[in-house]
Copies of this chain bind each other. A is one copy, B any other.
Amino acid sequence: MISPYDTDMARNGANHVALSPLSFLRKSAQVYPALPAIRYGDRVISWAQTYARCRRFASALVAAGIGKNDTVAVMAPNIPAMVEAHFAVAMAGAVLNTLNIRLDAEAIAFQLAHGDARAVLVDREFIPVLRAALVGMPRPPLVIDIADPSYQTADRLGAIEYEDFLASGDPDFAWDLPGDEWNALALNYTSGTTGNPKGVVFHHRGGYLNAVNNIVSAGMAWHPVHLHVVPLFHCNGWCFVWSVAALSGTNVCLRRVDPAAIFAAITHHGVTHMGGAPIVYNMLIHAPEAASFVPPGRVVGVTGGASPPAATIEGAQRLGIHIQHIYGLTETYGPAGWCAPQGDWQQLDLFAYAKMTARQGVATVLQEDMTVRDPETLLPVPHDGETLGEIMFRGNAVMKGYLKNSPATNDAFAGGWFRSGDLAVVDADGYVRILDRSKDIIISGGENISSLEVEDVLCRHASVFAVAVVACADEKWGEVPCAFVETKPGCTVNADELRQFGRAHLAGFKLPKKYVFGPIPRTSTGKVQKFKLRAIAGQLD
């Protein structure tokens, strides 16, 4: 017998609406039409204007024959068109594929072909790369140039310029929410440190919920002023672009991650929130402009991609930036775990506090679960701070799957958990602590060495700016650690000094056997490219 609670109680148009971040844009335009949605240098675009521009953009895409499940790619830095694309493409029913602007033509060509992009917007700075990527493409996409005045060039590639494309559209375009909140919203390729990148598909439900999740976890109040330092091509700026729309806040755009520009934006626009890898905050701390910078207010500085060292937390605090550590992957829409602060941490000294805060922590409020499990048995590891397992997620901000890659999708979801590939322990307080990516663990004489632990120690040396440690083949031990070291401006340090410093804090077998001094290669999002370091280490003798 069907229960009365399920009789004539079906979803209908009044009581069930697809969860989609598009709702946030419509509402901000309705309730706070005159407030600034986007600031870019001297340019201000209100919420009413942004909504009208996005409707034009969406209708022009539809007029170009683009609709549901078509891919629209964008290759641009964090400029206004990039923010607009985060709504307009989905308003046309299409899927936004943001391209990493640091990639070469070959990688871009792969993504455009794999994603079957029907259109691509390109900032003129990246026309040369895109031009090369399109050579020989059997079904080239419609190209739309974005002529951002702050990048001067006579180069043109597209059939039409972005503002002309918008002008051709309808500011009153009657768009619809997706018919199903499970519909694809965005396509984000993983950085692919090895092999071809995987195309992570976001759905509307996840985009909506993770946008709200950011608000709740980061404690964002109404009308936040969010400085987009994290590239919007990286997990859609960790979904903050949609969080800002929910709270009728301001997206502060930034063409380049440059300390002077960041300090200026904080001062002039009253930035309340920003995001970035720890290296970004380090860069600010050590910038010449830092000395004369007077924080106009408190900025919440969300950080992820690596653990924030004590010096970063402290240095940022001096700049008025309160560091909040989050953890996640492209597959989890960015932030999915966070190091939820506990009241009694305030009594700790800086290093003890940093040690607590450096952990990956717990699942965010709207992410269902983040646990560490044995990858074979799927049993959770004990909370002993020692037993290694794999971080696994379950929740509504977990990708729909990998595009055209069922084997990888099935592997990632095997056993009913999303497997992150990150190896971690769980401390007694239930907080997850990453030891390493599984491929970054160094196995020396049968002992596991966490490259992160070694990096953490060497980082504390007064002359060291950043350290990356990788495995290096060794006849006797199998593998030994090799350290790549960047020094602070005006500082020097040598291998002997570091060896001596490390010996005070590390077991002997964990000490790097080799040291290389110089710049460390990173991805555009600040992640160290360890595969490149391993290649270098392999050629050292």
Contact = CB atoms under 8 A, between A and B. Distances in A.
Interface in A10-64: 11-17, 19, 23-24, 27, 30-32
Given A212-B366, A216-B246, A396-B15, A8 B401 contact: yes
A445 to B, nearest CB: 37
Contact of A398 (B15, B32, B394, B416): B15
Given A363-B27, A403-B5, A406-B8, A15 B418 contact: yes
A32 B429 CA distance: 10
A404 B15 CA distance: 18
B14 A413 contact: yes
Q: Which of A9, A14, A416 has the largest number of chain B CB atoms within 10 A? A: A14
A401 B15 CA distance: 9
A30 B393 contact: no
Contacts of A3: 68-69, 184
A229 interface: no
A165 interface: no
Nearest to A413: B14
Main secondary structure, interface of A, reads: loop
Nearest to A219: B221
Interface string A463-495: 000000000000000000000000000000000
A340 B247 CA distance: 11
A219 B216 contact: no
A17 B417 CA distance: 11
A215 to B, nearest CB: 6
A95 interface: yes
A3 B219 CA distance: 38
Given A246-B365, A417-B14, A400 B95 contact: no
Interface in A240-269: 246-247
Closest 4 CB pairs of A and B: A13-B416, A3-B69, A5-B184, A15-B398
Nearest to A114: B4
User: How extensive is the interface on chain A, given as a class?
Assistant: 35 or more
A182 B212 CA distance: 20
A8 B409 CA distance: 8
B399 A15 contact: yes
A39 B246 CA distance: 33
Given A11-B182, A16-B396, A221-B221, 5 more contacts: A8-B406, A14-B398, A14-B416, A27-B363, A246-B365
Contacts of A363: 27
Nearest to A199: B4
B14 A393 contact: yes
A533 to B, nearest CB: 32
Interface in A210-254: 212, 215-216, 219, 221-222, 246-247
A400 B9 contact: yes
Given A14-B393, A216-B215, A219-B221, A5 B362 contact: no
A362 B216 contact: no
